[in-house]
Amino acid sequence: MRIAHVHKMRGIGGSERHLLTLLPALAERGLDVVFVGLDDPEWNPSDFYDALRVPAIRLRSDALVLPRLLAALRADVVHTHLVHADLLGGIAAKLRGARLVSTKHNDDPFRVGAFRHVERGLARVTDRIVAITESLRRFTVEQVGVPAAKVETIHYGLDGVPEPWGENPSDDVPLDARILLSTSRLVPQKGIDDAVRALAELPADVVLVVLGEGPERPALERLARELGVSERVFLPGRVPDVGSWLRRATVYVHPARWEGFGLGVLEAMHAGLPVVATNVSSLPELVVEGETGLLVKRDDAPALAQALAVALGRPELGAAGRERALAEFSVDRMASRTVALYERL
The model's pLDDT over 73-108, given as tens digits with 9 standing for 90+, comes to: 999 999 999 888 898 888 888 777 889 999 999 888
Q: Are 245 and 209 in contact (CB under 8 A)?
A: yes
Question: Taking the C-alpha atoms of 126, 132, 138 and 141 in order, what is their torsion angle to the nearest 10 degrees?
Answer: -10
Are 275 and 288 in contact by the 8 Å Cβ rule? The answer is no
**Segment 5-53, tens digit of pLDDT:** 999 987 777 888 899 999 999 999 999 999 999 998 888 888 889 889 9
Give CA–CA dist 228/266, Å, rounded: 31
The two beta strands, 178-183 and 251-254, are: parallel
Straight-line distance from the first to the last Cα atom of the chain, in angstroms, rounded to the nearest whole number: 11
How far is residue 297's CA from residue 178's CA, in Å, rounded to a whole number? 24
Which residue from 61, 122, 89 is spatially nearest to 3, judged by alpha carbons?
89
Contacts of 117 by beta carbon, 8 Å cutoff, 6+ apart: none
Q: Which domains does the chain have, with CATH numbers?
A: 2-157+330-344 (3.40.50.2000), 178-328 (3.40.50.2000)
Model pLDDT for residues 252-295, shown as the tens digit of each residue:
999 999 988 888 999 999 999 999 999 998 899 999 999 999 99
Using CA atoms, how far residue 304 sits from 125, 229, 243, 265, 301, in Å, is 43, 16, 24, 16, 5
Residues 160-170 as b/e (b if ≥16 CB within 10 A, e otherwise) read: ebbeeeeeeee
- Is residue 149 within a helix (H) or strand (E), and if so which, with residue range? none
Distances in Å between the Cα of 297 and the Cα atoms of 9, 199, 255 are 33, 17, 9
- Indicate the pLDDT class of residue 235, thresholds 50, 70 and 90: very high
CB 261 within 8 A of CB 133: yes
CA 210 to chain centre: 15
pLDDT digits 0-9 by tens, 154-201: 999 999 888 887 899 999 999 999 999 999 999 999 999 999 999 999
Q: Exposed, middle or buried, 254 (CB in 10 Å: 0-12/13-18/19+)?
A: buried
Predicted pLDDT at 318: 96
Residue 215 has pLDDT above 90, yes or no: yes
Dist CA 154 CA 149 (whole Å) = 15
- Give 252's DSSP letter: E
Q: How far apart are CA 187 and CA 20, in angstroms?
A: 23
